Amino acid sequence: MKIAIPFFFILSVVLVVLGFYFKSENLAKGELLIGLGVVCGFLITMPLFLYNRWKDRDVKDYMLTKDSFKKMREYEVNKDREKREKVDAKTNENKNA
């Protein structure tokens, strides 16, 4: 997988570049090469890349459920509380000085 993804990516880029190069001489051949490069990029390289990136992850970690909303609210409450405590500490320091 580590070799296949870069191989197909480089292949698709090379095909597109060659397609633009040959397009000035032979329109049909150039467009065919560009099309093959795009197809290789989107139908081979992209699914391989996405599978490689997501294969060891749990989809439930990225879904919005009641538990995740609860965790987000708790995080925001704790964040606001810490902010208020810092402001209160600075205010107390200014009063004592």
Return the beta strands (E) in the chain as ranges.
none
**Are residues 46 and 4 both part of a single domain?**
yes
**pLDDT for position 1:** 79
pTM score, two decimals? Answer: 0.60
- Please provide the size of the chain in residues: 97
**What is the Cα gyration radius of the chain?**
27
Q: Which two tokens stand for residue 58?
A: 């749990």
Mean pLDDT of 14-18: 94
Residues 17-32 pLDDT 10s: 999 998 888 899 999 9
pLDDT at 3 over 80: yes
3-state secondary structure of 58: coil
Residues 80-90 pLDDT 10s: 888 787 777 77
Q: Which domain holds residue 1?
A: 1-57
**Are residues 53 and 65 both part of a single domain?**
no
**Are residues 14 and 29 both part of a single domain?**
yes
**Are residues 13 and 37 both part of a single domain?**
yes
Give the total number of structural domains in the chain. 2
**Are residues 48 and 69 both part of a single domain?**
no
**Are residues 41 and 75 both part of a single domain?**
no
Residues 25-83 pLDDT 10s: 889 999 999 999 999 999 999 999 999 988 888 877 778 888 888 888 888 888 888 87
**Are residues 65 and 42 both part of a single domain?**
no
